[in-house]
Amino acid sequence: MWKFKNCKMSIKFMAAFLITGLIPFVVAGFLSLHTADKALYHQTFETIEALQVEKRIQIEEYFKQLFLHTSIFSRTMEVRSLYDRLVKYHEDTGVTETGPYDVTNADYQRIWNSMGKSLRAYQAESGVYDVFLICAKHGHVMYTNAKESDLGENLAHGRYNDTGLAKMWKKVVKTGKPAVSDMESYAPSNGDPAMFTGNPVYDENGDMLGVFAVQIPLNQINKVMGTSHGLGKTGEAYLVGQDRLRRNDSVLEPDEHSVKNSFVHPDKEKIDTEAVTQALDGKHGEMIIKNHDGIKALTHFEPFKLLDLNWAVIAEVEASEAFAPVKKLQILTSLVGLAGVIFMIAVALIFTRLITKPVKKGVEFATIVSGGDLTQVLDIDQEDEIGSLAKAMNQMSANLKQMFTELVQGINVLSSSSTELSAISCQMLSGSQQATGKSETVAASAEQMSSSMVSVSAALEQLSTNIQMVAASAEEITATINEISG
């Protein structure tokens, strides 16, 4: 079973250096990247929000200025004089309540040429598409600068009674206040989308005579919404009506995503995103959603309400571009991190080598010494603990060498003494052998003597027996003598 404690010191030191170095480095890098990612995220949304708010303020200011100028001009004497003259022409020509207004005869042309100069000047100065004077009572379009097919029409009973112009006229007549109609296709202007605003024209008694109206030019709205500074190549701001159709041409794809195309192909060009829905509901905020092209985008939305208008102001930038700095930062951080890891590995290798190399030398030195070679010297020139250990090991080797030298000398002395003792032993051995020969002779003699002694002993025993027998006989004789003498 693998155990870390059994690994080589170089591996342990490398692991220690890398763990203590890489973990803080990785954590710091992750936190820095996360912080930068979050900061860029908020910065991008702040940029989008700033542009969206700027566009909302600009378009609101444009409409307010337009309404103001229209209101002011509707009260001028030029408008009143022209209206009075056109009413007189109305009466002189016998225009009926439901019929059209005759604009074909020479009298009308003289009125248009002579008394319409101020209105044409106003059109040129304000940049509006067209200017209208409409009869409040019957809805006759008595004057236009553009002289399109709506001139002379009856907005109450004629063919254009359901157009944006007619709707605006009805609102002004009904409320007596300025009104605006939202954008929709307008047949007299080649079917292009158009929107209108109008103001009531009153006489000295405060009675409404007519409606002074202008056709709001799309190019002016495009001009206001056309810049998208700070949003890069994929960012833009645009307006969306309650019908989910555009109210300005796309800055990025003006031909494909134009207001005109929106009204020609409403099913295809409808912008029905969550941001648009919430903005039209009066909410504002930010989110990351798929835009009308199905591309993930950072989106900021806000409602735009003015008079009868209820639009959504949308600013967005594709997520791929918005997060491009984050990706670049991630790549840069990864490269720096990789360089840092390589640097730490290099430093770890250097320091590991500085530590383990003298240790390896010490191990090799100890192995050589354990093999009996005391002639080696541990070459480590350091003043640290390892240097002290090396000096101690060299001293140990020197001491062992001296000890073994003295031991060898003692062995040599012992060897010499052993030689002398060996010679003496040989002499002693020779004498011992002679003594052994003599001892054998003595032993033989002794053996003979022992045999003789045995014979003598037997003779003595026999002699003793005889003596005892003699003694017994002597005692018997004595006894006999005593008996005789007694």
The single-letter code of the amino acid at 303 is P
Sign (positive or negative) of CA dihedral 148, 149, 152, 154: negative
Extents of the domains making up the chain: 75-221, 374-481
User: What's the rounded Cα separation, in Å, for the pair 412 and 278?
Assistant: 110
Comparing CA positions, the residue from 236, 176, 216 lying closest to residue 66 is 216
Strands 130-135 and 141-144 turn out to be antiparallel
User: What is the pLDDT at residue 332?
Assistant: 77
429, HSE (Cβ side, Cα atoms, 13 Å) = 6
User: What is the pLDDT at residue 3?
Assistant: 61
Residue 122: CB atoms within 10 Å: 20
Query: CATH: 3.40.640.10, 3.30.450.20, 3.90.25.10, 3.40.50.1860. Which one for 75-221?
Result: 3.30.450.20
User: What's the rounded Cα separation, in Å, for the pair 166 and 155?
Assistant: 5
Residues of the chain short of pLDDT 70, as ranges, are 1-7, 9-10, 12-14, 17-18, 21-22, 25, 28-34, 36-37, 230, 326, 330, 354, 418, 421-422, 425, 428-461, 463-464, 466-467, 470-475, 477-486
Tens-digit pLDDT profile for residues 310-345: 999 999 998 888 777 767 776 877 787 778 778 778
User: What is the pLDDT at residue 174?
Assistant: 94
Helix (H) or strand (E) holding 288, with range, is: strand 285-290
pTM of the model: 0.66
> Residue 140: what are its φ and ψ, rounded to 5°?
-75, 135
User: What is the pLDDT at residue 37?
Assistant: 66
Can you state the percent helix, strand and coil of the chain, rounding each to 5? 60, 15, 25
User: What is the pLDDT at residue 456?
Assistant: 47
CA 320 to chain centre: 14
